[in-house]
Amino acid sequence: MRLQGRAHKFGDDVNTDYIISGKYKFKTLDMNELARHVMEDLDPDFYRKIRPGDFIVAGANFGCGSSREQAPLAIKYARIGAVLAKSFARIFFRNAINTGLPVVECETDQIQSSDELVVDLAAGVIENRTRGIKIPVKPLPPVMLKILADGGLVAHFKKYGGFNFG
Amino acid sequence: MGQTIVEKILSRASGKSARAGEIVVARVDWVMAQDGTAPLAIQAFERMEGKRLFDPERVNLVIDHSAPSPTEGISNLHKLMRDFAREQGCRLYDIGDGVCHQVVVESGRVGPGCVVVGADSHTCTYGALNAFSTGVGSTDLAAALISGQIWFKVPETIKIVCHGTLPPGVYAKDLILYLIGDLTADGATYQAVEYTGEAIKALSQEGRFTVANMAVEMGAKAGLMEADEKTFAWLAAHGGGGYTPVTADPDAVYAAVKEYDITNLEPQVAKPHRVDNVAPLRSVAGLKIDQGFIGTCTNGRLEDLRIAAGILAGRKVHPGTRLIIAPASRRIYLAALRGGILSTLVEAGAAVVTPGCGPCVGTHNGVPADGEVVISTANRNFKGRMGNRNAEIYLASPAAVAAAAVAGEVVDPREFVK
């Protein structure tokens, strides 16, 4: 999987309330509607700045807070290609894999907003074309690779009728 | 080599000797979702071609985040949950029954050794009953609804030992805020914590729920305690029994052991907009307060309401301040009603709303105005959490909120509880 786009940089501890506020997320299952409010409390204009395939790049503990799966879904439906962060909160990380939003653990200090990135998940490397540097990616655990390869947890369950990590 | 509490519980639930770092597929004893997460879980259940729940007797749905419904969109999601529960034969706790975590611990169906998944991050609350319980998203939850199983990476454990006894006017909430301030918001990410020591043992069962509830605010997957006579008294009072306590082996391996002496702890506060932005409450003394809120899965229990009533008895909420109270469950609401606690609070000027999560999660029942300052007993103070990104939220104990409501500004609650 090879993704290309621009970086939008955020800080540490971006919580799920910032990703999609509770005042919207409980109202609807329409993810296109929720996507319009993604990251609104941190940057009210964020949705309008996104070009399809762009990346959210953040510091440590991205996605902390509530278990709302609307958080990775709102990011995905806002047509963000992947989230790159130094570390992720565990519920968000699972939810992202389960719903098919690529999440990439890597060093992000050498990425700034507007940098042009190429993320090669198979090779496990990010190329920052703006700065001419390559950044290694921390590989996913095998169980998560299996779920991703099957197309998410829904597809995994449909395929095997339950968990199958044999 | 010995095992931690989590390793023991997950060994039993997976049928293999579980060690930190290993992946296990564990059987679950209880599965829960609320109205912010159940609709997506029902959708995933259907997309997974689920037909029946693995066991309707081990599943419950709770309508608490927007209860009663403030909009037609939410009403339709609630209807989806009611229809699903009726078709599948599982218990649905409807509006007014209470906050999901309180109704679960009041059901008596979760106790020592249980594995619980809930589609809500504060599912870690039941660690106070010696259960391994953790929050998951809606798709993981749907998988558990169908199969009765979930996969886990067995977490390492941080052991938190609390020595000493809490001074008068200092509560479980001050203790957990202090710990989070020290360990930080991602201090236990991908890990579990075990809370132990005489200060934890001295807490009431209700106070233990407060401490376990906020484990996720340091990133932890679970926050567990050993079971003792208080645990079993709680279970017996709520119709639960037959559980075998799970203890850590003396030679269990921990990622870290943190020791604290809380003998001189003073009231604490988490300042905007981070739960780990913790300081002594006196550092914000005199701060004008527009709204106080007492409730939530952290601090909406009978003991909390009783402490608040003790401060508000014979006093009035300051004319420049509003005070909102949400008992955490119908059972608590009734007990507070019958015991005269609610009449004390209402006479003092508090507004009592339906048991539920509304004010804490910004859905309704107390959204602050631009520039307003709120002091709350909740577990999160993120910008916008209560529905307005231009408001500020301070987290503190029920005593601190009640005292601030009377004074119209932050004051040391110990001035009121001498």
Which of A26, A27, A75, A101 to mutate against chain B (most B CBs within 10 Å)? A26
Strand B373-376 and strand B392-395: the pairing is parallel
Torsion of CA A66, A69, A73, A75, to 10 degrees: 20
Which residues of chain B make contact with A60, given a CB cutoff of 8 A?
186
Closest alpha carbon within chain B to A100:
B139
- A131 confidence band (pLDDT: 50, 70, 90): very high
Q: Give residues with Cβ within 8 angstroms of A126, minimum separation 6.
A: A84, A104, A106, A111, A117, A118, A119, A120, A134, A135, A136, A137
Superfamily of domain B269-415: Aconitase, domain 3 (3.30.499.10)
In the annotated binding site of B for [4Fe-4S] cluster, the residues are 297, 357, 360
Is the confidence at residue A25, as pLDDT, over 80?
A: no
Q: Tell me what pLDDT residue A24 has.
A: 85
Locate the chain A residue with the closest alpha carbon to B144: A162
Q: What is the pTM of this model?
A: 0.96
**How close A69 comes to chain B (CA, Å)?**
5
pLDDT tens per residue across all 418 residues of chain B: 899 999 999 999 999 999 999 999 999 999 999 999 999 999 999 999 999 999 999 999 999 999 999 999 999 999 999 999 999 999 999 999 999 999 999 999 999 999 999 999 999 999 999 999 999 999 999 999 999 999 999 999 999 999 999 999 999 999 999 999 999 999 999 999 999 999 999 999 999 999 999 999 999 999 999 999 999 999 999 999 999 999 999 999 999 999 999 999 999 999 999 999 999 999 999 999 999 999 999 999 999 999 999 999 999 999 999 999 999 999 999 999 999 999 999 999 999 999 999 999 999 999 999 999 999 999 999 999 999 999 999 999 999 999 999 999 999 999 997 6
The predicted structure's pLDDT at residue B1: 85
CA distance A110 to chain B (A): 22
pLDDT of residue B55: 98
pLDDT for the residue numbered A16: 95
Q: What is the DSSP string of B195-238?
A: EESHHHHHS-HHHHHHHHHGGGGGT-SEEE----HHHHHHHHHT
**Computed over its alpha carbons, how large is the radius of gyration of chain B?**
20
Taking CB atoms and an 8 Å limit, are B137 and A95 in contact across chains? yes
Predicted local distance difference test score (pLDDT) of residue B418: 60
Q: Is B274 on the interface with A (CB under 8 A)?
A: yes
Q: Which domains does chain A have, with CATH numbers?
A: 2-160 (3.20.19.10)
Q: What is the CA radius of gyration of chain A?
A: 15
Q: Are the CB atoms for A58 and A16 separated by under 8 Å?
A: no
pLDDT for the residue A145: 87
Return the residue in A75, A91, A156 with the most chain B beta carbons within 10 A, the one to mutate for interface testing.
A91
pLDDT of residue B54: 98
Per-residue model confidence as pLDDT tens digits over A69-120: 999 999 999 999 999 999 999 999 999 999 989 999 999 999 999 999 999 9
Interchain CB distance below 8 Å, A66 and B140: no
Quick one: which of B225, B241, B221, B245 has its CA closest to B233?
B241
Q: Is the pLDDT of residue A23 over 90?
A: no
Contact B140 A94 (CB under 8 A): yes
Extended beta strands in B2-120, E state: 23-27, 30-34, 59-62, 91-93, 115-119
The predicted structure's pLDDT at residue A27: 78
Which residues belong to CATH 3.30.499.10 in chain B?
A: 8-14+21-260, 269-415
Query: HSE of B31 in the Cβ direction (CA atoms, 13 Å)?
Result: 29
DSSP states of B103-172: HHHHHT---TT-EEEEESGGGGGGGGGT-EEEE--HHHHHHHHHHSEEEEEPPEEEEEEEES-PPTT--H
| CATH number of the B8-14+21-260 domain | 3.30.499.10
